[in-house]
A and B are shown apart, each in its own frame.
Chain A
């Protein structure tokens, strides 16, 4: 890419592959080569890719769990506080803390908070609402949403060295290699 050399800033170097198996192999070898800041781009979810990339346990489940727990505790506490402290009301002689009545709302509170956790958690951790991403500067990348598979080693990686990364990616036998300008 002629213009990439004139651009001072480099986002990363990207290799293109034809099959998911090649990508899995490439992801595994990239991780083994010591690169940590890299990403894979595929048209569909590939079984085992996160494991090959060495991605740690996902954060969304824990966010959903924490939010659900907080929602349940919050909803129960709100009802307990209104019935015991704020506005005690004798309903047919039942206990003020009639917990069976609180359970449906506690459940709803948990579901609502957990759903917020899932919705916003997914957006935040996946960096959604990103309007510009450098990988789209590479023309071949248009096929990432139909039939091609990409690995991009980013310049932010501490081991990043333009020539070495080039050599390394070449050793993976990709169809093409491209520099990704920022």
Chain B
């Protein structure tokens, strides 16, 4: 039985990954070098660009952790070819993303370029920010960040070890028992993850505009980054669809197989993201109160409105019709194109979410791009490295290529 998956040849995919890693590392070092040069000339702008990159890549990491927890809980068949990718991303929480947090902490305590609430003179003149001081203060920010990362690292490691153990038992029945035992732990993990994720998003994203708040913010982010990580994993698997490992998986059972589930899940997450994003807009628009509307005011003026028009088009309308069509899920290349559209617009959306916090007019600096590419390159280097450490798809998992009917 174990032969069902171990018989699949991983060699070609491993070669591709091994060839890709130095490129990612090179881009990462190049990007970070350009960014570091900005640190000397314009530290404030460079650190803001860095925060943007950190927010995006941390979000991707957490998207991987969230999807791993989900898959370990529900044990869905659709995720079997993707789960090792999610786990590899989740494992980056520690140490990579913990180290990546250091420049942000440096800015919070020393340079004060990212968060308005770290400016002493602004806070002194503002009674609202003074009242928020018990939460929005530097020490609490740093301690909380350490706690979040410790919790996420614990769950990521447990899931990673569990999968590893499952791959090593050499018997599908034992593997299934282990996997069922872990599902309760993972379900508990989802609860803890959502609570800590919400607080982290308040700290790292929402508090950039400290007067503004929204109860939908973390939900928009979790839907968006879940979508983002799923799109990335699908991009990888679908790009490798003609290699011996993934060919039988991607083409398995035709339309009834994985592709339909993947396309439907992309569709669902796009719609869910749209639903919560639009809810936030509608509630803000109805309430019409200054604390709330300033979020959209900032993002609807000074050139930002053009990006604001792009986002619903490419993260709702286009994917909505694209992923709804059965043809998309039938033709892997067409599914891949849809996934790429989503990946592209996600970067634009996060830019639109974060950058206007510092800039009233549409602007992009070299350091935004450099930090994004730099941190992203390093992120990919280690993520692909994690992926190579184990079998690329679960061993001892007869469901992987079993007929569903």
Q: List chain A positions with a Cβ less than 8 A from chain B.
A: 47, 61, 92, 94, 98, 100-101, 103-104
Partner of A100, one of B256, B281, B326, B405: B281
CB<8 Å pairs between A and B, sample of 12: A47-B256, A92-B288, A94-B288, A100-B278, A100-B281, A100-B282, A100-B285, A100-B286, A101-B285, A103-B278, A103-B282, A104-B282
With both beta carbons as reference points, the residue of chain B lying nearest to A99 in the complex is identified as B285
- B281 contact set on A, CB distance < 8 A: 100
- B286 contact set on A, CB distance < 8 A: 100-101
- B282 contact set on A, CB distance < 8 A: 100-101, 103-104
Q: List chain B positions with a Cβ less than 8 A from chain A.
A: 256, 278, 281-282, 285-286, 288, 326, 405
Q: Is the interface of B mostly helix, strand, loop or mixed?
A: helix
CB distance from A51 to the nearest CB of B (A): 10
Complex CA distance for A103 and B282, rounded to whole angstroms? 9
CB distance from B271 to the nearest CB of A (A): 11
Are the CB atoms of A98 and B285 closer together than 8 Å? yes
- B278 contact set on A, CB distance < 8 A: 100, 103
Complex CA distance for A98 and B288, rounded to whole angstroms? 13
Are the CB atoms of A47 and B405 closer together than 8 Å? yes
CB distance from B361 to the nearest CB of A (A): 24
- A100 contact set on B, CB distance < 8 A: 278, 281-282, 285-286
- A61 contact set on B, CB distance < 8 A: 326
- A101 contact set on B, CB distance < 8 A: 282, 285-286
CB distance from B239 to the nearest CB of A (A): 29
Complex CA distance for A100 and B282, rounded to whole angstroms? 6
With both beta carbons as reference points, the residue of chain A lying nearest to B327 in the complex is identified as A57
- A104 contact set on B, CB distance < 8 A: 282
CB distance from A167 to the nearest CB of B (A): 34
**Interchain residue pairs A-B with the least CB separation, the first 3:** A100-B285, A100-B282, A47-B405
Complex CA distance for A65 and B153, rounded to whole angstroms? 45
- B405 contact set on A, CB distance < 8 A: 47
- A94 contact set on B, CB distance < 8 A: 288
CB distance from B275 to the nearest CB of A (A): 10
Complex CA distance for A94 and B287, rounded to whole angstroms? 12
Complex CA distance for A4 and B57, rounded to whole angstroms? 75
